[in-house]
Amino acid sequence: MDYKIAIASGKGGTGKTTVAVSLYRMLTREFEAIVQLVDCDVEEPNDVIFFPEAEKIGEEDVLQKIPQIDVTKCTFCRACAEYCAFNAIVVLPTARFAEVNPSLCHSCGACLEACQQGAISEYDQMIGKISDFKTSIGEGVMEGRLRIGSSMQTMLIKELKKKVPSGAEITIYDAPPGTSCSVVETTVNSDYVLLVTEPTPFGLYDLKLTVELMHDLNKEFGVIVNKAGLGNDDIYHFIEENNIDLVGEIPFVDAFATTYAQGNLDEDMPQEITDAFYAIVEKLKFRILVDERDNHTQR
């Protein structure tokens, strides 16, 4: 079995990390599966906070190839700038100026192909780090952490996913919030996407955007309503009208908010929350088994 679940949300603060961490623990225990948790929210990874026993067992830099222009060889023909789809190169022939903006460069290599004078070479620039943590349950947590000032979130997420060990039976990707390119990269090869939302006007608005993205990506997805009972029923009307799979509801409980704030999602969890996650896990177990059976039949 090799099943990938992405946990996403249209906005921050809906409880996406709560769901990702809790499902990691409960799928490991209840499904008896080999589960790997991957924190793809590289600008602010925080999954490992909820594992106080976590031990870092590996860390590596992720490097990006950045072009540099040797103005002593450059003829200022502007071919490199015209080839660059990201407007990362500025060439001013009258001023004999040529420079690459690293924050805009996507390391596609087009400028090297365009330059006929051999004036462009590459150097390595660190965009972030990938860390691997051993936890007391499951296969552990992996995270990407973007270097402050870098805008290469998508590139780092792509490298992070490449480093995930092949032995995991279930991989949980904790995606960044929103609907940007980094969310697309996180969810693109997932078998199923769980969209975490809340029953508020903001939650509904951002859920609509995320549902539209899932349709564009042709992804199978379902919705978890967190903080159920806190807002209104508009979000349920949207889910029903659009025939969206309601995977589960997690009630709003003051005691759980206190537990979360203390970084504890394992002990002293209110029974209402535990029951809600058990129901979600049961639905996921059924979906995983059905999807795996269908994939096996197709092969």
CATH topology of domain 64-125: Alpha-Beta Plaits (3.30.70)
What b/e sequence results for 127-153 when a residue is b if at least 16 CB atoms lie within 10 Å of its CB, and e otherwise? bbbbbbbebeebbbbbbbbbbeebebb
pLDDT tens digits for range 168-211:
899 999 999 999 999 999 999 999 999 999 999 999 999 999 99
Q: Which of 94-108, 114-128, 207-221, 263-277 has the lowest mean pLDDT?
A: 263-277
User: Using alpha carbons only, what angle is made at residue 158 by residues 290 and 4, rounded to the nearest 5 degrees?
Assistant: 10
User: Residue 267 has what pLDDT?
Assistant: 64
Asked: is 3-51+135-298 a CATH 3.40.50.300 domain? The reply is yes
pLDDT tens digits for range 236-248:
999 999 999 999 9
pLDDT tens digits for range 104-149:
999 999 999 999 999 999 999 999 999 999 999 889 999 999 999 8
User: Residue 86 has what pLDDT?
Assistant: 93
Residue spans per domain, the chain: 3-51+135-298, 64-125
Phi and psi at residue 220, in whole multiples of 5°? Answer: -75, 130
Written as six digits, the tokens of 49 are 């906070």
CATH fold match for the domains 3-51+135-298 and 64-125: no
What b/e sequence results for 62-76 when a residue is b if at least 16 CB atoms lie within 10 Å of its CB, and e otherwise? bebebbebeeeebeb
Reference 285, options 249, 247, 251, 250; nearest CA is 247
User: Residue 231 has what pLDDT?
Assistant: 75
Reported pTM: 0.88
Residue ranges with strand state E in the chain: 3-8, 35-39, 55-69, 89-92, 97-100, 120-134, 141-146, 170-174, 192-197, 221-228, 245-251
